[in-house]
Amino acid sequence: MTRYKAHLKSLTPISFGAYISAPKKRGENPQQYEEAHWRERCNVDDKGNVIIQPFAIKNMLDAAAARLSMRTGQGIKTFKPLFETGVMVEEGIVLPLTRANVPGEWRMVPADGKPAAYSKGSRVPKCFPKIDEWEGEVTITVLDDKITESVLKEHLTEGGQFIGLGSHRVQNRGIYGRFALVSLEKAEKAA
């Protein structure tokens, strides 16, 4: 098992779209509800700082492995199943701002929540938290020794260019969430 510290820096803004579970107040219309609760689309840590969820980083790596289809050197086997079962991201990237300080971006989105290409419904105004510039470190634990530092680096680079993080990311036909891998270093080696 090897742990790596990856330093990521934004190339495009990141947007968030977490589910809002706050109950609607009596007499509150959809616009009032949206105005009161849109910042809850950000995930936060115990101290109230906005975070990029660990599963978002893990899912980005898995998607990058599927996209690259890089061979392991064992016949036609690729790294995709090795990334799915042999990589862990236990903590997200903590960003230096709180939910209350996140700016928003209003968009007209399909009312049924489906991607625009598949939606047959009307559009409604929704506000999404958007951070124009961001960077931070994440610890990635590699359990499978076949995933070397250079393989991980290539997958992080691919993920930053073609998968992205957050809501409206490039993988989902969006324009946000692209990042550059600034550095990748071993954090510690465990048995």
CATH code of the domain in which 39 resides = 3.30.70
Q: Give the mean pLDDT of the chain.
A: 93
**pLDDT number for residue 191:** 47
Q: Report the distance separating Cα 125 and Cα 111, nearest Å.
A: 9
CA atoms within a 13 Å half-sphere pointing along the CA-CB vector of 183? 7
* Prediction pTM value: 0.90
What is the span of the domain harbouring residue 77?
A: 2-189
Q: What is the CA radius of gyration of the chain?
A: 18
Indicate if the pLDDT at residue 190 is higher than 70.
no
Q: Report the distance separating Cα 48 and Cα 64, nearest Å.
A: 30
Q: How confident is the model at residue 112 (pLDDT cuts 50, 70, 90)?
A: confident
Can you spell out the DSSP letters for 39-76? GGGSEE-TTSEEEE-HHHHHHHHHHHHHHH--B-SSTT
Instruction: Please write the tens of the pLDDT for every residue from 122-180.
Output: 889 999 999 999 999 999 999 999 999 999 999 999 999 999 999 999 999 999 999 99
How many domains does the chain contain in total? Answer: 1
